[in-house]
């Protein structure tokens, strides 16, 4: 059995906690030890061998995927990470994974979104294995019994019983509250967005109902070429499931939640006796039904407030009423219209070599970063036209190359990089390297970098 994990997404609905370059599936939410992506990867290992797990993501998130799997302790093949040249929605992403799998023959395939929470992973893995017989003639989706008229989910109408599930009579996308009530009364299920099928059956249905996507992959030698021939963004629901007569649903009780808004946090995370979700260091007096998450090291005191969501990051603060957090995406749209980079970048940004956190900055004057380089990794060989950099090693030992000359800088020591000097930072040790970088100049943006190779030393 093969597994495809979808790990793209822009992270707009949980802004400012989630950003385009650091979406919710990679965040360790509310003190959890593993991110949603890591939990999904571990769940996949209950069904597939390590080499039979494929991750479809984008260039921005590729190294987040690699870092997350590495943190779990697995030596994962980079070739199993399929990078979408541009977002085309779920059907092209899924078919990219299926096409890769079919290069070695047909098999049963399970598709997981990486940003959903499932608290009963082992029980779900058992249900998936038991449902394999359905994939002989059906494309299987898994249905959740609604606990209320949620308008943010698609609904499935079950028909004739088949094996351990039902034939799907119809799909209904995100209804009005009145329609949602009607669907619930008729025994509809929520569509969990998790699929299972035989690759041959699925490929045949794509050829029949979405020939543009099928032909794009049939006439292309690589992913970039295939995606250039796909001119419509289309989901698997619209492209296949609503049209196919092979759709089936298996009802499951697996502790599922898509964490589609901050409101959903109240359904899955621990809260105090007054229904507040908050860090134990925060001080909460005469307040109830609140979600409070603050920047690390900052104490929040809440007095006499109810039904609020407060998300405090170093560079952004969100305050909204509970049950209104679906409108956070409107905030993101406004920021994008202003070309505000806080929709894309977090104060902590992850790269192939590690990550950095912006500690302080003043536009066109200075920027202070804390940089962590993982053992054996290095940054690209580069130069800057408009800034100088001063590096102070906090932990570990840095190997620094400046205009071809190599130097070793130890903890407590520093080095100054002048504008125009070619330079590289790398960690030759076995423990993380941490430095404080002070940038000074008239232009401190990311595009003031001329790279002579990539993080792997490739020209």
Tens of pLDDT, residue by residue over 381-408, are 999 998 999 999 999 999 999 999 999 9
Q: Are residues 72 and 211 in the same domain?
A: yes
Q: Are residues 370 and 252 in the same domain?
A: no
Average pLDDT of span 165-173? 90
Considering the chain, what percentage of its residues have pLDDT values greater than 70? 98
- In the predicted structure, residue 415 carries a pLDDT above the cut 70: yes
Angle between the 199-209 and 90-102 helix axes, to the nearest 10 degrees?
130
Q: Are residues 219 and 273 in the same domain?
A: no
Look at residue 211 in the predicted model and tell me its pLDDT.
96
Tell which of 220, 240, 257 closes a domain. Answer: 257
pLDDT one-digit tens code per residue, 217-226: 999 999 999 9
Look at residue 56 in the predicted model and tell me its pLDDT.
97
pLDDT one-digit tens code per residue, 100-135: 999 999 999 999 999 999 999 999 999 999 999 999
Q: Are residues 225 and 288 in the same domain?
A: no
Query: Which is more confidently placed, 427 or 294?
Result: 427
Q: Are residues 60 and 187 in the same domain?
A: yes
Q: Which two tokens stand for residue 43?
A: 């769940």
Look at residue 455 in the predicted model and tell me its pLDDT.
63
Q: Are residues 203 and 271 in the same domain?
A: no
Q: Are residues 322 and 363 in the same domain?
A: no
- In the predicted structure, residue 450 carries a pLDDT above the cut 80: yes
How many structural domains are present in the chain? 3
Look at residue 459 in the predicted model and tell me its pLDDT.
58
**pLDDT, the chain, mean:** 92
Average pLDDT of span 30-54? 94
Nearest Cα to Cα of residue 99 among 257, 236, 253, 215: 215
Query: Which is more confidently placed, 380 or 445?
Result: 380
pLDDT one-digit tens code per residue, 133-149: 999 999 999 999 998 88
Q: Are residues 322 and 404 in the same domain?
A: no
Residue by residue, DSSP assigns 155-208 as: EEEEEEEETTEEEEEEEE-S--HHHHHHHHHTT-EEEEEEEEEEHHHHHHHHHH
Q: Assess contact for 49 and 61: CB atoms under 8 A.
A: no
Look at residue 122 in the predicted model and tell me its pLDDT.
96
Average pLDDT of span 290-296? 87
Q: Where residue 399 sits, what CATH number does that domain have?
A: 2.60.120.10
Look at residue 454 in the predicted model and tell me its pLDDT.
67
- In the predicted structure, residue 448 carries a pLDDT above the cut 80: no
Highest mean pLDDT: which range of 25-34, 140-149, 338-347 = 140-149
Look at residue 28 in the predicted model and tell me its pLDDT.
87
Q: Are residues 126 and 270 in the same domain?
A: no
> Would you say residue 215 lies in a domain?
yes
**Confidence band (pLDDT; 50, 70, 90) for 78?**
very high
Distance CA 321, CA 330 (A): 15
Average pLDDT of span 311-332? 92
Does 16 sit behind a cis peptide bond, omega within 30 degrees of 0 on the bond before it? yes
Average pLDDT of span 313-340? 92
Q: Are residues 36 and 114 in the same domain?
A: yes
Helix (H) / strand (E) containing 36: helix 36-44
Look at residue 295 in the predicted model and tell me its pLDDT.
76
Q: Is the dihedral of CA 94, 99, 100, 106 positive or negative?
A: positive
Helix (H) / strand (E) containing 112: strand 108-113
Q: Which domain holds residue 446?
A: 352-451
Q: Which two tokens stand for residue 157?
A: 């109408």
Q: Are residues 285 and 365 in the same domain?
A: no
């Amino acid at each position: 059995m093969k597994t495809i994990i979808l790990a793209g997404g822009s992270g707009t609905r949980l802004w400012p906690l989630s950003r385009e370059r650091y979406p919710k599936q990679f965040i360790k939410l509310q003190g959890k030890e593993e991110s949603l992506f890591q939990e999904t990867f571990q769940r996949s290992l209950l069904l597939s061998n390590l080499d039979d797990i494929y991750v479809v993501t984008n260039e921005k998130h590729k190294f987040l995927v690699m870092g997350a799997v590495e943190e779990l302790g697995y030596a994962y093949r980079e070739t199993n990470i399929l990078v979408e040249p541009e977002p085309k929605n779920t059907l092209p992403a899924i078919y990219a994974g299926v096409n890769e799998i079919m290069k070695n023959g047909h098999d049963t395939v399970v598709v997981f979104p990486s940003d959903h929470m499932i608290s009963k992973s082992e029980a779900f893995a058992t249900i998936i294995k038991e449902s394999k017989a359905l994939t002989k003639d059906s494309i299987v989706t898994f249905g959740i019994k609604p606990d209320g008229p949620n308008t943010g989910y698609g609904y499935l109408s079950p028909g004739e019983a088949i094996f351990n599930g039902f034939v799907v009579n119809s799909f209904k996308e995100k209804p009005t509250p009145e329609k949602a009530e009607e669907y619930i009364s008729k025994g509809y299920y929520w569509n969990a967005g998790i699929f299972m099928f035989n690759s041959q059956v699925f490929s045949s249905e794509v050829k029949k109902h979405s020939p543009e996507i099928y032909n794009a992959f049939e006439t292309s030698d690589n992913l970039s070429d295939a995606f250039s021939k796909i001119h419509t963004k289309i989901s698997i629901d619209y492209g296949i499931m609503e049209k196919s007569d092979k759709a089936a649903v298996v009802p499951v009780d697996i502790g599922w939640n898509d964490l589609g808004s901050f409101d959903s946090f109240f359904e899955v995370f621990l809260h105090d006796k007054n229904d507040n979700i908050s860090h134990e260091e925060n001080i909460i007096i005469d307040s109830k039904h609140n979600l409070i998450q603050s920047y690390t090291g900052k104490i929040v005191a809440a007095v006499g407030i109810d039904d609020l969501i407060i998300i405090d990051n170093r560079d952004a603060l969100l305050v909204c009423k509970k049950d209104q957090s679906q409108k956070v995406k409107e905030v993101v749209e406004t920021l994008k219209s202003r070309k505000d980079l806080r929709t894309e970048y977090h104060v902590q940004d992850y790269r192939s070599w590690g990550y950095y956190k912006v500690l302080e900055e003043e536009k066109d004057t200075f920027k202070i970063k804390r940089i962590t380089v993982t053992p054996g990794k290095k940054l690209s060989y580069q130069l800057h036209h408009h800034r100088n950099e001063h590096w102070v090693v906090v932990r570990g030992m840095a190997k620094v190359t400046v205009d071809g000359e190599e130097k070793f800088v130890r903890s407590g020591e520093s080095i100054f990089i002048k504008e125009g000097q070619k330079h590289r930072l790398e960690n030759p040790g076995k423990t993380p390297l941490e430095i404080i970088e002070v940038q000074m100049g008239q232009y401190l943006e990311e595009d003031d970098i001329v790279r002579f190779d990539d993080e792997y030393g490739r020209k």
